[in-house]
Amino acid sequence: MLTTLFPHTHTRYTSLPILGGILENLCGWLQSRGYPLNAISRRIKAAPFFETCLRRRQIESLSGCTAAQLRTCFPREKRWTPYIACALGRSVLEYLEARGELVAPASTPATRLLEAYRKHLARVRGLAPSHVQRHGRLAGDFLQFVRYDDEAGRGNAINAVALEAFGADAAARVGSVTMQKVMGVLRSFLRFLALAGEIPTSLEQCLESPRQYREARLVRALPWHDVQSLLQAIDRTTVKGSRDHAMLLLIATYGLRVSEVASLTLDDIDWRAQVIRVPRPKSGTPLAIPLTDEIATALVAYLRHRSPSRPERRVFLRARAPYGPLQSTGVCDAFDVWAAHAGIPMPALGGPHCLRHGLAMHLLRQGTSLKTIGDLLGHRSVESTGIYLRLDVEDLRDVALSAPDSTSYSGDRS
């Protein structure tokens, strides 16, 4: 395929010492995954630049490389060539992973400790897989920060000084709300380490979280008329538009989370019983909700547009190569695109989640009970539901007392 894409300059790419041997097969692999020829040629044009990035990391051959080593070579600049080189790097990584040609990372004390921590979170504490992954990722960042795998300092790597330094480093990169979550995860990890005999007990008491007040943040709900405007602004004549309309309509109608929409499968929809069984990653128990006529119409319109040549059981698929199941980030990207197209001003910390907030407030104003709203949103306690139901400024105007008239005061003012 290289001779077809570059009839006169193909030797420039096949002669590359590191990447030249795989580029021909990489082109065929990309084409089998649905990439158009122009996208493939752009990636191949960036091969000399990516080769330079590999050499800067002292990588002389792809054999013997790990996935982590290749990721460190991806350029991060936003100029055209580095951006395409980063896309080429991801394609090379996925290609080598599919062929099983990457070397598994060596087991280290840190990796073994993290694996035990993940099992503890899943089996003992019963956390959802997404939470286990998030806790493990942050714990790994902490172990890397304190250089836990260094043989000389492993015994004393985790101490009050290291905790303070890690907290200062994290605070410089995230806000106070996220920082509170970071400290909570770190306390959990320290308690596990104490239980395993790695560190002294009560070391987690050295951590201080930023003070947060209940309901201090403003509501993120999108006004209901803006929700309707957003749905009406979506162009449903294309495959992507019909897909995005069905996804956002599911969130606006049932208050689903982004991950729940992305993970929905055809087996979760019972057309005859008119029921959708939504997987709930947090609780582990699927939620059965009625399949309304509007939702059924939107889903059927998308499924008829969807390519029948790809027998995927997931409902929502990518509209561009590489074809396959849509991830949660794809739902967020679709929301951002259509919100900008509709000209809707986004609340602070917007995203598809503000549709979930908007539904909760819309149901509350219609007189729906907190218990019903909480069951629909998948909450276990009324306190969790209350977080979504903080009223905005317009609601507070209704309870404000009118200013007293100056004539109501008697007597002279001194």
Length of the chain: 414
Q: Which of 10, 131, 134, 282 is catalytic?
A: 282
* H or E element, residue 289: strand 287-290
CB of 269 closer than 8 Å to CB of 276: yes
- CA distance linking residue 177 with residue 205, whole number of Å: 19
First to last CA, the chain: 94
Residues 6+ apart with CB under 8 A from 209: 179, 180, 183, 184
Residues 6+ apart with CB under 8 A from 308: none
Take residue 133 and report the two structure tokens written for it. 């992954």
The sign of the dihedral angle between the CA atoms of 93, 99, 102, 106 is positive
Among this protein's residues, is 282 annotated catalytic? Answer: yes
Task: Count CB atoms within 10 A of the CB of residue 66.
Answer: 13
Among this protein's residues, is 388 annotated catalytic? Answer: yes
Among this protein's residues, is 217 annotated catalytic? Answer: no
Q: Which of 120, 257, 357, 390 is catalytic?
A: 257
- CA distance linking residue 182 with residue 247, whole number of Å: 31
- CA distance linking residue 186 with residue 192, whole number of Å: 10
Summarize the chain as % helix, strand, coil (round to 5): 55, 5, 40
Residues 6+ apart with CB under 8 A from 324: 312, 317, 318
- CA distance linking residue 173 with residue 182, whole number of Å: 11
The residue to which tokens 């991806």 are assigned: 74
Q: Which of 45, 95, 388, 390 is catalytic?
A: 388
Task: Count CB atoms within 10 A of the CB of residue 374.
Answer: 20
The sign of the dihedral angle between the CA atoms of 56, 60, 66, 67 is positive
Backbone angles phi, psi at 60, to 5 degrees: -105, -15
Q: Which of 236, 353, 357, 390 is catalytic?
A: 353
- CA distance linking residue 70 with residue 129, whole number of Å: 26
Among this protein's residues, is 356 annotated catalytic? Answer: yes
Q: Which of 120, 220, 356, 362 is catalytic?
A: 356
**Which residues are the active-site residues?**
257, 282, 353, 356, 379, 388
